[in-house]
Amino acid sequence: MTAEIIVVTSGKGGVGKTTTSASLATGLAMAGKKVAVIDFDVGLRNLDLIMGCERRVVYDFVNVVNGEATIKQALIKDKRHDNLFVLAASQTRDKDALTQEGVEKVLDDLSNDGFDYVVCDSPAGIEKGAHLAMYFADHAVVVVNPEVSSVRDSDRILGLLSSKTRRAERGEGAITQHLLLTRYNPGRVALGEMLSVKDVEEILGISVVGVIPESENVLAASNAGVPVILDDNSHAGQAYRDTVARILGEERPLRFTEVARKGFLQRVFGG
């Protein structure tokens, strides 16, 4: 059994990669999979915050790559799911601390330890860190926001995924690409201020695996150190559940992509 490696990437920063990594890893764990989620954003670590385990980081990814700690020592067990583990990024080291061989070894070790999925939270950009995060991936979740610059960056990333990964280099078949549209605001789409699902799908030429609405609950969840997928009451949480189910092969209709229906009075009086 080898672990499936999923990179969560985007090109652009601040689009929701880390939010997505945390919810995806948690969702896969809720489905009974053994999951590790790794923060590749050396120097800007924050996955541990969103996962709510920042106080338990003793060793980090760079320590493991440098042989200063074993992978077992560095993995932090999630407090809610005992089949979910976090490998934090180093906050202090410089970006060049990760090497391709080092990353490969960590991923191989996780595979040998019986992990089903390894979720790699990519840093922004198309430089070394992002390259390392995607290089060994079998699947990619490309996070995109409904705006032109984000779509353009995602297009660039999609191109890199099909040429600059180990699978591509070895001719082992394309990596599975999932397009995830986040921070979607149907109201602003209706006003023409944001691209619609259809626009984004058309420009990028692939369909979305999910649409996560813009929601205040995301920030609240992050601040509480609880991945938003665990917030049953929020639309964002429910949309992440749908998304994980789709990635696992289930078919589910898109939700929360239309402007919320008008209230009773508005319906009666029109407008």
Partner 1 sequence: MTEALHSKMDTSDACDLRFGQVGIACVRVRRVDAAALCEELERRVRSAPQLFSRAAVVLDLSHLLDLPDDGTVDALLEAVRSAGMLPVGLAYGTSATEALAQRMGLPLIAKFRAAYEPAEGGSIAPPAPAPAAAPAPAPVREPIHAAPPAGPALGAQHHEGTVRSGQQVYARDRDLVVTGAIANGAEVIADGSIHVYGGLRGRAMAGAQGDEKARIFVSDFRAELVAIAGHYRVFEQIPKDLEGQAVQCWLDGEKLMIARL
Cβ within 8 Å of residue 72, ≥6 positions away: 113
Task: Tell me if 42 contacts ligand ADP by CB under 6 A.
Answer: no
Among 9, 18, 23, 26, binds Mg ion (CB under 5 A): 18
**Residue closer to ligand ADP (CB basis): 10 or 90:** 10
In DSSP notation, 129-193 reads HHHHHHHT-SEEEEEE-SSHHHHHHHHHHHHHHTTSSHHHHHT--PPEEEEEEEEE-HHHHHTTS
Tell me if 42 sits within 8 A of 94, measured CB to CB.
Answer: yes
**Only segment of 14-22, 65-73, 161-169, 242-250 that touches Mg ion (CB under 5 A):** 14-22
Structure tokens at 141: 């979740």
Cβ of residue 48: shortest distance to ligand ADP, in angstroms? Answer: 12
State the sign of the Cα–Cα–Cα–Cα dihedral 65, 66, 71, 77: negative
Among 63, 150, 222, 238, binds ligand ADP (CB under 6 A): 222
**How are beta strands 84-87 and 76-77 bridged, if at all?**
antiparallel
Phi and psi, residue 220, nearest 5°: -60, -45
Structure tokens at 170: 């070895």
Q: Which residues bind partner 1 (CB under 8 A)?
A: 43-44, 94, 152, 155-156, 158-160, 162-163, 168, 202-205
> Contacts with ligand ADP in 43-62 (CB under 6 A)?
none
Out of Mg ion, partner 1, ligand ADP, none, what residue 15 binds, judged by CB under 5 to 8 A for its kind, is ligand ADP
Cβ of residue 163: shortest distance to partner 1, in angstroms? Answer: 6
What's the chain's length in residues? 271
Task: Tell me if 219 contacts ligand ADP by CB under 6 A.
Answer: yes
Tell me if 244 sits within 8 A of 224, measured CB to CB.
Answer: no
Out of Mg ion, ligand ADP, partner 1, none, what residue 222 binds, judged by CB under 5 to 8 A for its kind, is ligand ADP
Quick note: the x/- pattern for ligand ADP over 181-200, rule CB under 6 A, is -xx-----------------
**Residue closer to partner 1 (CB basis): 42 or 254:** 42
